Structure 1
């Protein structure tokens, strides 16, 4: 299983790191678990990439960010 840093995910999804942070916080507020390292920094796995792509696709298709989350 590949592990991605926030900067790798932001580049992969073509979003800013601040946007990734915002989406991650919103997902976590809705119960989605994003892994963290010993310094409490988020790291992402393949399943997180899929989830974030769905959020971005939903937002781009006209629903609100809250609905996409």
Structure 2
């Protein structure tokens, strides 16, 4: 998952093409050996919610996800 500043959206590479993600989409965020079920949300910035905890996303960092 990577941030596209021109579109102000997070996207994933799907078969060589960017696929934009929208608020409310669910996915699994891979953190080390763990897969966290998350929901993508937007407020003042993009963030994910997992098990009631909010984590802001760093626009300069990519994330490994499973849709």
TM-score, shorter chain, exceeding 0.5? no
TM value normalised by structure 1: 0.24
Larger relative contact order (Cα-Cα within 8 Å, sequence gap ≥ 6): 1
Give TM-score, length-normalised by structure 2. Answer: 0.24
Kindly indicate which of the two structures has a greater share of residues assigned to helix: 1
